[in-house]
Chain A
Amino acid sequence: MPTAIEFFKLLPKTNCKDCGQPTCLAFAMLLANQKAKIDDCPHISKDSKDALEESSAPPIRTVVLGKGSEVRMGGETVLHRHERGFINPTAYAVTVSDKENIRNRIETIKKLRFERVGMVFETDMVSVRCDSGDPKVFRDAVVLVMELWEKPFALECCASVLESALSAASSRRPLIYHANTENFDDMVALSKKYSCPLVLRDPNMGSLAGLADKAKAMGVDDIVLDTGAANLKECVEKHTIARRAAIKKRFKQFGYPLMNRVGSGEYAVAIAAVSTMKYGSLVIFDDLKSYEALPLFTLRQNIYTDPQVPIQVKQGLYPIGEPNEHSPIFFTANFSLTYFTVRADIEKSKIPVWLQIVDTEGLSVLTAYSAGKFNPEHVAKALNDSGVLSKSDGIVVIPGLVARMSSKLRELLDREVIIGTTESRDIPKFLKNLKPPR
């Protein structure tokens, strides 16, 4: 991001106030803080605007695949997630061969889907691969995939076979995989002709940079880089070199999303895990099993979570659904993961609940209890302060892990207190078995 002074230098400096700011300098300061858009100044010259847009673009280009349903790759600005967080999560693609039964295959891929803690995990893309070597077979396969699969896809094929399929698919903006030193000119020409993003692949980092330089010069903007990492070590090191070069040294040839093409099975999943932690924007698998996919999706969710989200939630009353004057009252610790998990499990039951969050300094239920930060007095005070006890005459449910505080709490609150589940995931069953409010 340019500084306020760098912005100021490119503004007309007439202080005409048309941007709504008193001076050009004030406007420049807003720009530097990303609180205004360059277009808000109607008088800026085209050259200045281009210069500004170029220097304010993120060091890693955002490449968008698909139409309607999109996958966004890149757009990253930092090397470590704690600095500002990573932006566009790693996408996972599974291969569809043009020699297999495409309907069955797409069906199977669609089944790789999980709903977890209010989030849906599913395969982001397919990669249609030409194994037939026949342009007609490949084109038919791609057309059928487009009918069955709404989300983005990649086309994996040789330059000689690609065009007929690409001409049928270009409106969906597929990712072309891939150009290398052998087929470079043909692939670049196709990428330009159909304006579809292009993967450049070369196991040598120097030649990969050379390819990126040449492709850009020839007019391809949407580039994705495959470092040809053959193992975990190459994946970590090549991705780190590329990303550090782009972000710290402004080495433009590496300012693009990174990807991996792996096979299937244990080692493929291990590379995908490393790629997910280390700057990978896309991993294409031959195949992915559900017991591999769920941990991998979860890893991606963890790595791409906004790091600014505090680890604690505020003490207070959180109504779930539309609880009434008889709805049950749950309470738990203010460790954000505890909160999110309990909340999601209550939501799953579809039964309205008053959820009281008690300030435990961000500790989880058991840790807080043994540290003396989650005792009956403390809980009773939180319940009284929030007013929930006058909002509902429902029973109070104690987290199963701290069942020991039940008698004391019953005494302090003077109302029915029952022991809930030890595991959050058992809450829906528990709630359904709870007798309905009077």
Chain B
Amino acid sequence: MDGGEGASCAEHASADMSDTMKIPDVSEKYPGKIGEIVLGKGDYIAGGSDGMPLLSFENTCKRRMMIAGEVVDDLTDYPELAASMFNGRQKDPVEWSLMWKSIGADMICLRLKGTDPDKGKTTEYASELVERIADATQLPVIVYGCGIPEVDDNLMKEISNSVKNRRLVLAKADEEGHKTISSAAIAGKHALIAFSNLDLNLAKQMNIVLTDFGVQRSDILMDPLMAPLGMGLDYSYSVNERIRLAALSGDKMLQIPMICDATGAWDVGDAVNDDDADLGDVVNRVTWWETMTAMAAMASGADIVIMRGPGAADMILGYADELRCD
């Protein structure tokens, strides 16, 4: 089809200034401000906003949302479709991390699935891998365990002890367990993720529990659960917005940078279904699914977003760059 507007309809910026009206100033001055968190070798900082997201006329913090690229050390449960997007480099977590760096990721999010006793990777292997990824990429690393509490407790202790000279983000402290991981983070001077289940009060409660335990507020990233597009994104969007508004209004226990995990997009049937041609190309579809999940996270207050697909990460990087509050 023909593109462009008809030539005779070309747009002219209004020249006649006499008809211009004065627009009321709608920028807000808030009493509160999101804290900052220092990561890696002190060269990466997240947080620091003093206005609502994406509004350069009120948010004086010029930082853009950071992107963390997801890497797993065991591909058993990792979607094949996602794996096919990394040209084989996903087979070596260090190579994979380097690829993320070349895509432009600011951080690596490493999930140590292989430390599940059924898979058999040792804690020594795991902490060495963290070290190798951090050395190779020089990027801050977020470390998740395999999801089995006893295994992860041990793992976090080990990693915290052996990885020095850089601040990792240990994940995650939640309602079920926070003591071991908090102690590990404090001992190794690492940061940690405070996870809560889609609720402002639970998010706040988790931050209180951690600070009561002795974790500094500047060592916490909060994860209020980013439900993906089509599977509860509406709840997350509003919980995030309410957290940001409460923080800016002065609630210190919510003035903590926020991390959102957009990889949940890959669990949504409509995003990854490959058996219905009417839904359109699946690679493009899941890429949009994850990108829009990340866009909603960014618009509602995320300071860091975890991404799985390289295409989606590339897109959200571009958008986040454009939307930094310069």
Residues of A133-168 whose CB lies within 8 A of B: 133, 156-158, 160
Question: CA of A195 to CA of B89 in the docked complex: distance in angstroms?
Answer: 61
Residues of B97-120 whose CB lies within 8 A of A: none
Q: Do B21 and A273 touch across chains, with their CB atoms under 8 A apart?
A: no
Interface size in chain A (residues, C-beta < 8 A): 84
Q: Which residues of B contact A95 (CB under 8 A)?
A: 1
Q: Which residues of B contact A249 (CB under 8 A)?
A: 24, 26
Instruction: Output the least CB separation between B176 and chain A (Å).
Output: 7
Q: Which residues of A contact B43 (CB under 8 A)?
A: none
Q: Do B26 and A240 touch across chains, with their CB atoms under 8 A apart?
A: yes
Q: Do B234 and A425 touch across chains, with their CB atoms under 8 A apart?
A: no
Nearest chain B residue, comparing its CB with the CB of A244: B26
Instruction: Output the least CB separation between A240 and chain B (Å).
Output: 6
Q: Which residues of A contact B322 (CB under 8 A)?
A: 231-233
Q: Do B295 and A295 touch across chains, with their CB atoms under 8 A apart?
A: no
Nearest chain B residue, comparing its CB with the CB of A291: B280
Nearest chain A residue, comparing its CB with the CB of B265: A295
> Which of A114, A157, A295, A370 has the most chain B CB within a 10 Å cutoff?
A295
Instruction: Output the least CB separation between A164 and chain B (Å).
Output: 15
A274, CB-defined interface residue at 8 Å: yes
* Given A182-B12, A232-B322, A266-B315: A237 and B56 interface contact (C-beta under 8 Å): yes
Question: CA of A111 to CA of B198 in the docked complex: distance in angstroms?
Answer: 36
Instruction: Output the least CB separation between B136 and chain A (Å).
Output: 31
On chain B, which size bracket covers the interface? 35 or more
Question: CA of A289 to CA of B282 in the docked complex: distance in angstroms?
Answer: 12
A363, CB-defined interface residue at 8 Å: yes
Bitwise, A204-244 to B at CB < 8 A (1) or not (0) is 11110111011000000000000010011100110011001
Residues of B286-309 whose CB lies within 8 A of A: 288-289, 291-292, 295-296, 299
Q: Do B20 and A206 touch across chains, with their CB atoms under 8 A apart?
A: yes
Nearest chain B residue, comparing its CB with the CB of A249: B24
A281, CB-defined interface residue at 8 Å: no
Q: Do A241 and B57 touch across chains, with their CB atoms under 8 A apart?
A: yes
A116, CB-defined interface residue at 8 Å: yes
A303, CB-defined interface residue at 8 Å: yes
B77, CB-defined interface residue at 8 Å: no
Q: Which residues of B contact A210 (CB under 8 A)?
A: 14, 19-21
Instruction: Output the least CB separation between A156 and chain B (Å).
Output: 8
B152, CB-defined interface residue at 8 Å: no
Nearest chain A residue, comparing its CB with the CB of B2: A131
Q: Which residues of B contact A363 (CB under 8 A)?
A: 197
Q: Do A201 and B11 touch across chains, with their CB atoms under 8 A apart?
A: yes
Q: Do B270 and A287 touch across chains, with their CB atoms under 8 A apart?
A: no
Instruction: Output the least CB separation between B53 and chain A (Å).
Output: 9
Residues of A80-128 whose CB lies within 8 A of B: 80-82, 95, 97, 99-100, 105, 111, 114, 116
Nearest chain A residue, comparing its CB with the CB of B242: A82
Q: Do A291 and B8 touch across chains, with their CB atoms under 8 A apart?
A: no
Instruction: Output the least CB separation between A11 and chain B (Å).
Output: 32
Q: Do A302 and B237 touch across chains, with their CB atoms under 8 A apart?
A: yes
Q: Which residues of B contact A294 (CB under 8 A)?
A: 270, 279-280, 285
Residues of B199-239 whose CB lies within 8 A of A: 227, 229-235, 237-238
Nearest chain A residue, comparing its CB with the CB of B175: A371
Bitwise, B1-23 to A at CB < 8 A (1) or not (0) is 11101111101111111011111
* Given A291-B280, A295-B229: A202 and B288 interface contact (C-beta under 8 Å): no
Instruction: Output the least CB separation between A336 and chain B (Å).
Output: 9
Instruction: Output the least CB separation between A333 and chain B (Å).
Output: 13
* Given A289-B280, A290-B280, A337-B232: A99 and B289 interface contact (C-beta under 8 Å): no
B42, CB-defined interface residue at 8 Å: no
Checking A114, A274, A287, A293 against B299 with a beta-carbon cut-off of 8 angstroms, the contacting residue is A274
Bitwise, B178-210 to A at CB < 8 A (1) or not (0) is 000000000000000000011000000000000
* Given A232-B323, A291-B285: A97 and B2 interface contact (C-beta under 8 Å): yes
Q: Which residues of A contact B270 (CB under 8 A)?
A: 116, 294, 298
> Which of B2, B281, B299 has the most chain A CB within a 10 Å cutoff?
B2
A245, CB-defined interface residue at 8 Å: yes
Q: Do B6 and A157 touch across chains, with their CB atoms under 8 A apart?
A: yes
Q: Which residues of B contact A99 (CB under 8 A)?
A: 1-2
Instruction: Output the least CB separation between B310 and chain A (Å).
Output: 15
B284, CB-defined interface residue at 8 Å: yes
Q: Do B3 and A263 touch across chains, with their CB atoms under 8 A apart?
A: yes
Instruction: Output the least CB separation between A236 and chain B (Å).
Output: 5
A311, CB-defined interface residue at 8 Å: yes
B245, CB-defined interface residue at 8 Å: yes
A305, CB-defined interface residue at 8 Å: yes
* Given A180-B11, A205-B23: A425 and B319 interface contact (C-beta under 8 Å): no
A423, CB-defined interface residue at 8 Å: yes
A347, CB-defined interface residue at 8 Å: no
Bitwise, A176-201 to B at CB < 8 A (1) or not (0) is 00001110000000000000000001
Which residues of A are at the interface with B, using a C-beta cutoff of 8 A? 80-82, 95, 97, 99-100, 105, 111, 114, 116, 129-131, 133, 156-158, 160, 180-182, 201-207, 209-211, 213-214, 228, 231-233, 236-237, 240-241, 244-245, 248-249, 251, 253-254, 263, 266, 269-270, 273-274, 277-278, 286-287, 289-296, 298-299, 301-303, 305, 307, 311, 337, 341, 363, 367, 370-371, 423-425
Which 4 pairs between the two chains have the least Cβ-Cβ distance?
A291-B280, A290-B280, A210-B19, A244-B26
Can you list 29 A-B pairs, Cβ within 8 angstroms, ordered by A?
A: A80-B245, A81-B241, A99-B2, A116-B270, A131-B6, A181-B12, A181-B19, A206-B23, A207-B14, A209-B23, A241-B23, A245-B24, A254-B23, A270-B319, A277-B296, A286-B3, A292-B284, A294-B270, A294-B279, A295-B229, A295-B271, A299-B233, A299-B296, A302-B233, A302-B237, A302-B296, A303-B237, A307-B234, A370-B176
Knowing that A207-B14, A294-B280, A337-B227 touch, tell me 4 more A-B residue pairs with CB under 8 angstroms: A114-B278, A211-B19, A240-B26, A253-B21
